[in-house]
Structure 1
Amino acid sequence: MTVTQARATGTRRRVPPGPSRFATFKLLNMLLRDRLALMRTAADGYGDAVRVAIGPKTLYFFNHPDYAKYVLTDNPGNYHKGIGLHQARRALGDGLLTSEGELWREQRRVIQPAFQAKRIAAQASAVAQEAARMVGRLRSRAGAGPVDITAEMTELTLGVLGRTLLDEDLSGHASIGHDFEAVQDQAMFEVVTLGAVPQFLPLPQQLRFRAARARLQKVTEQLAAHRALRSGGDTDDVLSRLLESVHAEQDPRVARRRLRDELVTLLLAGHETTASTLSWAFHLIDQNPEVVERLRDEARSVLGDRLPEFGDLQRLTYTTMVVEETMRLYPPVWMLSRIAQGPDVIAGYDIPAGADVVVCPYTLHRHPAFWERPERFEPDRFDRQRRAQRPRYAYIPFGAGPRFCVGNHLGMMEAVFVIAMVMRELRLVLPKGASVVPEPMLSLRVRGGLRMSVQRG
């Protein structure tokens, strides 16, 4: 029976199971303090389709590969960006991450050529060189006390992004990483307050955000001005393509805002997810000594003492599996939210128009029906044979469907190169007594950064 037929016959609408509305205050507290526990509690307690009422919001949470496939790939036109990114638009603007419809299609069309496989392969040398600089910094700190690995990975990934996508040196913009923390904090504040707090209120967090946004605006203007002074060179990088695309705008204020929104989104998405993945990877590697030995042996066998090249990706198979297993346990985009544009039926349950629909890679990647010993770090689960036995949509670290992450190949190459280059000569060790806690913001980052001691291998 279709949704329309059910309404016409007066049939009672089916809704997924979930916590009672009397649990609202408990759920609100979890939303504020432990969003991962909220999603895991819902999945563990109510199954693969859950209705979670939190104050004025009701989430329809689906935690099964078939349902993820339907929302993200089979019927994506009915599901626009939802809670989280919908509220984050006030912080991020209308960049590729938050835009919809024709604007999103135009933005994707503009930047897609910069991520073509041939172009990414040509950037392997730049990625390896930036990684070598980072390894040199770590080597100089061996035995000298803990290093903030998250900060190192952020500097690295911003350097890679500047060279590979923007054809610019970002080393002179040291505040970008901290500014994006303020942007993420504000975006998540918009989520947990459901966008009800005016941005003009002089709250400390909002003041930090406004200052960070102003600095990021200045960065985008400096990048645009610098590019305008250059002639020749690679005119197919993302910055050149963005500048060309906004020239058609009649209103210079609109052009300025579009360029800011798209560059800020690119800078955030282009460095944050990979930096977070690398931080989690080094933490997990440290916790598993047998992984350390296999990574070191592979890196030394494949690379020797030279820099990696694009063709090495096919031979760094165990390192690739380590990255994939890291993103299973700690997917950089931990939640995919959508808003239903029209009524629908998922898993036999009626989804009303305007409903908030959620797919959570963090819980989906731990689903016991598809992952043996789901809490354990086991890179070998990504060998070819075991991978073929799982549903395709049981693992979606880069999303799926039309909004599949455009930078996935660059991010994977970067992560594999960095881990191989670090592990062939160094060991990163968590100090005794230190705790590592996930912080689910727009990305799943390590709360407070990750401080590790550097030892020579």
Structure 2
Amino acid sequence: MTATDLPHARPALPGPPRSATLGLLARMAKDRLSVMTSVTRRYGDAVRLRLGPKSLHFFNHPDHAKHVLADNSANYLKGIGLVHARRALGDGLLTSEGEVWKAQRKTIQPVFTAKRINGKADAIAQEAAGLVARLRERRDGAPVDISAEMTGLTLGVLGRTLLDADLGAFESIGESFEAVQDQAMFEMMTLSALPTWVPLPKQLRFRRARADLDRIVARLAAERAANPTAEGDDVLSRLIEATRREVDARAGRRRMRDEMVTLLLAGHETTASTLSWTFHLLDRHPEVWERLHAEAVEVLGDRLPTYADVHRLRQTTMVLQEVMRLYPPVWLLPRLARAEDEVGGYRVAAGADVVICPYTLHRHPAFWDRPEVFDPDRFDPGRAAGRPRYAYIPFGAGPRVCVGSGLGMLEATIVTACVVRELRLATVPGYDVRPEPMLTLRVRGGLPMTVRSAG
């Protein structure tokens, strides 16, 4: 009798042999995206990746994503990568589990209601106008790091829309978050084999960054406690109120710190990355830029956008959707199985590491025609009909879908329209633009671009 004759027998996940482990680890450290892409091409939609003592169960089909992220989400905790990020982020909304996560989500959710977020369109438009003014001053001059500009912009929007605070005073915040992400990915790739007390430059940089973020959060909380807002409906006010109810004051302060650091990272990094990729791709596809420029002029004229304009910016919306297909802000969704499960006919043992990769899922040739081609028209409602819902998950899916996705899309739409109406950005000739898969999928090393008038 063979294994396949046994009741409930399931096939073993295919994948690289154990002898390939060291080579696979080296490749993962150098180029994680190419590894994920190549193994799906060679082994299919379900792959086992042996990484030292760990094995990743990599599933790459919309049905797999639906099962893990939505249908049986209760069986899956946050996994590799996010576990390592907990050292910096603590138990914030991104990394927490169970009742802690539910309580945090309940506290934060009201800030992200559609009515409240839509009411922030004017604030976003003002921040976008400030960005355009800064870039206009650099016309026909030295290249500008657009990634850095987008980081500054999204931090400004986050401060005004979610915190009712000015984050411009904290110039180190972007550098600190870069160090945090760098350390989290380092620990992930080394499987935390190196003790955290080892005084490597990377470790020391991380400790300074974590201390800097702690100081920023403490200052924001102290200033708000001393000067409460009239509405009290922003994240900072709600967290202060929620932590006051904590029996353990120290635990309350820790909860606020973890949630604020998580919000500061997730609230700006994903949108900044999306906008950076947007302007790079528009430069590579001038015919698409022309369409967006014409749409922005027609819809907006010479005034700032309002919320009512967003629904008329259809071409802009499709471009952003296509940008996030090729470069999803959340490129990897790691999970840890609590109990034994079955995904796509394959056994997943209790305690197994499971990953869903939107980057590869969004390029699956069975669900996307010419998947490597930038084609915003694929998101025209007529062409999108019939596509599996879980073939496109740029913000995740299921109960833990990104709470700020509505704000992110609103912000990206308004900013893109404001910029392309007046300016044309061009990547510096010869500059090697590559994705860097950290906690988000950003442009590696920044994005130097020159600025010209749109006319």
Same fold (TM over 0.5): yes
Is 1:94 aligned to residue 91 of structure 2? yes
Match of 2:48 in 1: 51
Counterpart contact for 2:228–2:237, Cα < 8 Å: no
- Structure 1 match to 2:227: 230
C-alpha separation in 1, matches of 2:190 and 2:154:
31
| Change in 2 beyond 3 A, CA 1:253/1:382 | same
Does residue 1:437 correspond to 2:437, yes or no?
A: no
User: Residues 45-444 of structure 1 correspond to what in structure 2 (within 5 A)?
Assistant: 45-444=42-441
Contact 2:60 2:356 in 1 (8 A): yes
How far residue 251 of structure 1 moved from its aligned partner, in angstroms, is: 3.0
Contact residue 10 and residue 345 of structure 2 kept, 8 A: no
Q: State the SS of the aligned residue for 2:77.
A: strand
For residues 345-388 of structure 1, the C-alpha deviation after alignment (integer angstroms, 9 at most, x for no partner) is 11111110001111000000000001011101000000111111
Residues 69-121 of structure 1 show CA distances to partners (whole Å, capped at 9, x for unaligned) of 01000000001111110121112111000000000000000000000000011
Distance (whole Å) between structure 2 residues aligned to residue 449 and residue 276 of structure 1: 10
Relative distance call for 1:57 and 1:80 in structure 2 (3 A) is same
SS at match of 2:452: strand
Shift of the alpha carbon at 1:198? 2.0
Say which SS state the counterpart of residue 171 (structure 1) adopts: helix
Q: Which moved more, 1:225-234 or 1:25-34?
A: 225-234
Gaps of 5+ in 1: 1-5
Cα distance in structure 1, aligned partners of 2:32 and 2:68? 22
**Contact 2:107 2:239 survives alignment (8 Å):** yes
Identity of aligned residues (%): 64
Instruction: Report the Cα offset of residue 13 of structure 1.
Output: 4.7
C-alpha distance in 1 between matches for 2:229 and 2:190: 48
* 1:370 partner SS: coil
Asked whether the equivalents of residues 131 and 153 of structure 2 are also in contact (C-alpha less than 8 Å), the reply is yes
Please give the alpha-carbon distance, in whole angstroms, between the structure 1 residues aligned to 2:272 and 2:197: 31
Give the secondary-structure state (helix, strand or coil) at the position aligned to 1:219: helix
Distance 2:397 2:382 in 1: 22
Q: TM-score, normalised by structure 2?
A: 0.97
Q: Which amino acid aligns with 1:31?
A: M
Aligned partner of 1:318: which letter?
Q
Distance across 2 between alignment mates of 1:423 and 1:355:
46
Query: CA separation in 2, counterparts of 1:21 and 1:212?
Result: 37
The residue type equivalent to 1:62 in the other structure is: F
Measured at CA, do residues 378 and 349 of structure 1 come closer, stay the same or move farther in structure 2, by a change above 3 Å? same
**CA shift digits 1:378-433 (9 cap, x unpaired):** 00000111111211110000000000000001000100111110001100001111
2:451 aligns with 454
Instruction: Tell me how many residue pairs correspond in the alignment.
Output: 452
The structural deviation recorded for 1:248 is: 2.2
Please say if residues 329 and 394 of structure 2, whose CA atoms lie closer than 8 Å, have aligned partners that are also in contact.
Answer: yes
Cα deviation for residue 313 of structure 1 reads: 1.1
- What 5-or-longer segments of structure 2 have no aligned partner? none
Q: Measure, in 2, the Cα distance between the counterparts of 1:116 and 1:404.
A: 14
Match for 1:290: what amino acid? Answer: E
Name the CA shift for 1:101/1:290 in 2 (closer, same or farther; >3 Å): same
Counterpart residue type for residue 82 of structure 1 = G
Q: CA deviation at 1:52?
A: 1.1
Aligned equivalents of 2:233, 2:51: Cα separation in 1: 46
Asked if the contact 2:325–2:362 (Cα under 8 Å) also holds between the matched residues in 1, the reply is yes
Q: Structure 2 matches for 1:30-45, cutoff 5 A?
A: 30-45=27-42
Distance in 1, matches of 2:108 and 2:329, equals 21
Using the TM superposition, name which of 292-301 and 14-23 deviates more: 14-23
**Residue identity matched to 2:420:** M
Q: How high is the TM-score relative to the length of structure 1?
A: 0.97
1:346 is aligned with what amino acid?
V
Aligned to 1:3: none
Aligned residue for 1:411, secondary structure, equals helix
Aligned position for 2:12: 15
Q: 2 CA distance for matches of 1:103 and 1:367?
A: 35
